[in-house]
Structure 1
């Protein structure tokens, strides 16, 4: 998920009462909720799509869940001691307890992979022990409804606290509502996948993968992707109800791609195919190959999820490919 969602989650956890456990609890929860994204620094030394093979890996795995909160807790504890020595420690701050700082940093850090798992981008939850990608297919990566719920609840709880009212209850209700919203979206995803299976390939075709891709704003819809062997089709989750499930080809020019012939962009192509869940090759205007991913396909532009292979010629797929 985006960093605003992560930060609001940490803040709301503080407002349920956790911020009263120790001084600097809110920074521990909010920073901890965003800390696994330190891997974004890879943009400083990678080019093109090479960052895709680095993101959501080692900093989102089990070792990081333990080590990153420890580093954060130590920095916050040291910051409190530094302010105390300089006589600049705020008088209203609660005493700082390192054990609680670590525990809250740990809780905040754990919310990050849990939320990242909810979308179709993918996360390597077991890195470095396994490089397998995991996908929840439940929420779009930026969910404005979750923003609204978490943001309003945090503001309302803080407002209540400032006025001397009961401020924990609104935060707890909001967290319960957020979990219910996530659960409802999980049900929508499962329903869309099952309906697609019944309409298009049934349970006997084990090679065809079904991906129910959440879309922006309209959380009740899914863009369902069906594909195998580099050939993908898509339809809206309401399409079968209104038009019998008409399929839309993602591209007018599907290509074969052979990893053994990659030369100029070998690193980028390898990184892309390591990350990609729904890869396919498209004919570029010059007859070369564009590697794309059906989850993030935009026919109008070459986005950051596209790798151009100018040294590889597009070989059209046979006519029967994807016919089923």
Structure 2
């Protein structure tokens, strides 16, 4: 998910009562909820689409779940002692207990891979022990309704706390609402994916969440002779509302992507990340490798790599 969502998740857990466990609890929860994204530093040394193969891996896996909270808790504990030595420690701050600080850093950190798993971008939950990608296909990467519930819960809790009321209640209510919302989206994804049972030559179905309408899914039918997507977004079990079309221009089995990957590290990185690759041609005949999950014209430029000429030998419509 986006980092605003992760931050609000950490803040909401704090407003649910966890921030009273130790001093600096809120920084532990909020920073912990974002800290696996330190892998974004890879943009400093990786070129092109190579970041797709690096991100959501080692810093999102089991070793990082233990070490990153430890580093965060240690840093916050040192910061508290440093402020105290300088006489700058806020008088109202609760005593800092390292055990609780580590526990809250761990809770915040674990919330990050959980919410990243909810979308279709993918996450390597077992890295470095396994490079397998996991996908929840439950929420869009930036879900405005989830952001609204998170923000409302944090705002209402802080407002009530300022007035001396039961400030934990709004946060808990928001957490229940968010849980129900996630469960609803899981059920929609599951039901939409059942279209794989239609009488078509399909290996499996991906129900990709839409951005603004949680009822809809872009159905990507992974077939043996290419990729097919249902357009517009599926909003119910009415088969006559589906319009299918091939994704891309090339018949994928005719494309020697393995050889292209050996020749070009950019292609290799893209294929490692891609879940539903397809090949498209532009006006001058150049071939581009893309992914059906991110085929929107507004995003496709960030999720494509050019293929060497002659990679594919057969094209649709020829």
The change in CA–CA distance for 1:230 and 1:285 in structure 2 (over 3 A counts) is: farther
For structure 2, which runs of at least 5 residues remain unmatched after alignment? none
Give the TM-score normalised by structure 2.
0.93
Instruction: Determine if the alignment matches structure 1 residue 306 to structure 2 residue 304.
Output: yes
Provide the aligned C-alpha RMSD in A.
2.1
**Equivalent residues of 1:230, 1:278 under 8 A apart:** no
2:238 pairs with 1:238: no
In structure 2, the partner of 1:166 is: 166
In structure 2, distance between residues paired with 1:142 and 1:20 = 30
Equivalent position of 1:288 in the other structure: 286
Question: What is the CA–CA distance in structure 1 between the aligned matches of 2:203 and 2:41, rounded to whole Å?
Answer: 36
Residue 137 (structure 1) aligns with: 137
Counterpart among 279, 284, 302 of residue 277 in structure 2? 279
Alpha carbons 1:288, 1:314 under 8 Å: kept: no
Deviations 1:200-228 (A, max 9, x none): 43xxx6x6120000011101100000013
Name 2:196's counterpart in structure 1. 197
SS of residue paired to 1:75:
helix
Structure 2 equivalent of residue 53 of structure 1:
53
Give the match for residue 250 of structure 1: 247
In the alignment, the residues of structure 1 paired with residue 33 and residue 299 of structure 2 have an alpha-carbon distance, to the nearest angstrom, of: 33
Q: Is contact 1:126-1:132 (8 Å) kept?
A: yes
**Offset of residue 198 of structure 1:** 3.1
Whether the 8 Å CA contact 2:260–2:311 is kept in 1: the answer is: no
Distance in 1, matches of 2:239 and 2:58, equals: 44
TM-score (norm 1): 0.91
Residue 210 of structure 1: SS of its match in structure 2? Answer: strand
SS of the equivalent of 1:262 reads helix
How many residues are paired up?
315
Q: 1:135-194: per-residue Cα shift (whole Å, max 9, x none)?
A: 000000000000000001101100100110110011011101101100000000001011
1:122 alignment counterpart: 122
Deviation at 1:311, TM superposition (A): 4.0
Verify: 1:7 aligned to 2:7, yes or no. Answer: yes
Contact 2:277 2:292 in 1 (8 A): yes
CA positional deviation for 1:249 = 2.5
Which shifted more, 301-310 or 254-263?
254-263
TM superposition shift of 1:298: 2.7
Give runs of ≥4 in structure 1 deviating > 6 Å.
none
